[in-house]
Chains A and B, each alone.
Chain A
């Protein structure tokens, strides 16, 4: 061993032997995670949090969609206003009735129909092609209403009258009223034939 190696050895012992602790800190066995901690602190929490977030977001989306629809129909974000408007309309319709006359259904229906149209237009507005050609999706003839697969047989066995109230909701815009313009004008505007 060279002098330098001997010097290193002496210096290491001089420094380290005097600085090492006389007492050794107690050894504590690290505890493995219990099953409860695995469930509460691991994947279980992550999955549970994601599921809860999804449910909350879905509920919030449904609430906002309903409120937005009612707001478009009534023009107000306050639910009490929606009911108030309908109530006022019912009272007004009653006042219009003559003595002994019954039935305000048509009157109230006209009011609700007028408020539904802005809502349906708002739902179709994002489609640019529909906005430029409003009649593109409408049937070519009033006698051919939109068919649903479950009622195809009804159309052949029991044809409905074009002005029948049962078809009014789906084909109202195609029924001709006495105030409508002439038929030729209506066809050009609604369904341009190619």
Chain B
């Protein structure tokens, strides 16, 4: 619970185009954006790369950001797009890796890595990116469906249907009964 409550996002205000305010936004939201991306891309290193890419893209558009929506929601929208792009590239890379690994056993995952040992995180990475993002925003960051809808730029009903689909898929993958 600590991560989602350490920065009260409603109280933070930022001035578009201000370098100092962007740096403050970076410090306040880095860990939350990284937490979301860890559940969406293949591993921790890729999540860190995507987080940096997210803030780089955000900085390019920082002057045109409109403070009518929370800055963190805006960042999450960028982060989800970055993760979707990374997934596409990963699918292309996997084809080459499969050919290179033919006949060789796959390297075992690092047992010290809690994330890599989590069945839930592994199942989330197999979900469609937008479903996984909705689930993490709802159950890790504590967003309401309306806030998720604003962050992703979709209607509330779309968020509700994505959450329902994600839960159903997770129950199947994790072997839970409703």
CB within 8 Å of B: which residues of A?
2, 4-5, 7-9, 11-13, 15-21, 24-25, 27, 29-30
Query: A13-B140, A27-B26 are contacts. A5–B167 as well, Cβ < 8 Å?
Result: yes
For residue B10, CB closer than 8 A to chain A, the reply is no
Complex Cα–Cα for A2 and B176 (A): 12
CB within 8 Å of A: which residues of B?
1-4, 19, 22-23, 26-27, 30-31, 34-35, 38-39, 44, 55-56, 59-60, 113-115, 118, 120-121, 135-136, 139-140, 167, 170-171, 176, 178
A16 and B2 within 8 A (CB): no
Complex Cα–Cα for A21 and B3 (A): 11
Complex Cα–Cα for A4 and B177 (A): 9
8 contacts between A and B (CB under 8 A): A2-B178, A8-B139, A11-B120, A15-B115, A16-B38, A16-B115, A19-B38, A24-B30
B3 and A17 within 8 A (CB): yes
Cβ-defined partner of A15 (8 Å) among B114, B176, B178: B114
Cβ-defined partner of A9 (8 Å) among B39, B121, B140, B178: B140
How many Å from the CB of A14 to the closest CB on chain B?
Answer: 8
Residues of chain B contacted by A29 (CB below 8 angstroms): 19, 22, 59
Cβ-defined partner of A20 (8 Å) among B1, B26, B31, B121: B31
Cβ-defined partner of A18 (8 Å) among B1, B19, B114, B121: B114
Query: Which residue from chain A places its CB closest to the CB of B136 in the assembled complex?
Result: A12
B176 and A12 within 8 A (CB): no
How many Å from the CB of B171 to the closest CB on chain A?
Answer: 6
B115 and A19 within 8 A (CB): yes
Q: Is the interface of A mostly helix, strand, loop or mixed?
A: helix
Query: Which residue from chain B places its CB closest to the CB of A1 in the assembled complex?
Result: B139
B2 and A17 within 8 A (CB): yes
Query: A4-B176, A4-B178, A21-B31 are contacts. A16–B3 as well, Cβ < 8 Å?
Result: yes
Complex Cα–Cα for A147 and B19 (A): 79
Q: Select the residue from A7, A9, A18, A19 with max chain B CB neighbours within 10 A.
A: A19
Query: Which residue from chain A places its CB closest to the CB of B118 in the assembled complex?
Result: A15
Query: Which residue from chain A places its CB closest to the CB of B117 in the assembled complex?
Result: A15
Residues of chain B contacted by A7 (CB below 8 angstroms): 176
B59 and A19 within 8 A (CB): no
Cβ-defined partner of B118 (8 Å) among A4, A9, A11: A11
Residues of chain B contacted by A19 (CB below 8 angstroms): 38, 44, 113-115
Query: Which residue from chain A places its CB closest to the CB of B60 in the assembled complex?
Result: A30
A30 and B59 within 8 A (CB): yes
Cβ-closest 5 pairs across A and B = A12-B140, A27-B26, A9-B139, A16-B35, A15-B118
Complex Cα–Cα for A69 and B106 (A): 68
Residues of chain B contacted by A4 (CB below 8 angstroms): 167, 170-171, 176, 178
B59 and A13 within 8 A (CB): no
Residues of chain B contacted by A9 (CB below 8 angstroms): 139-140
Complex Cα–Cα for A97 and B44 (A): 99
Complex Cα–Cα for A5 and B136 (A): 11
Residues of chain B contacted by A2 (CB below 8 angstroms): 178
Query: Which residue from chain A places its CB closest to the CB of B141 in the assembled complex?
Result: A12
Complex Cα–Cα for A11 and B120 (A): 7
Complex Cα–Cα for A35 and B27 (A): 31
Complex Cα–Cα for A17 and B27 (A): 16
Cβ-defined partner of B170 (8 Å) among A8, A15, A30: A8
Complex Cα–Cα for A40 and B121 (A): 47
Complex Cα–Cα for A55 and B23 (A): 50
Query: Which residue from chain A places its CB closest to the CB of B29 in the assembled complex?
Result: A24
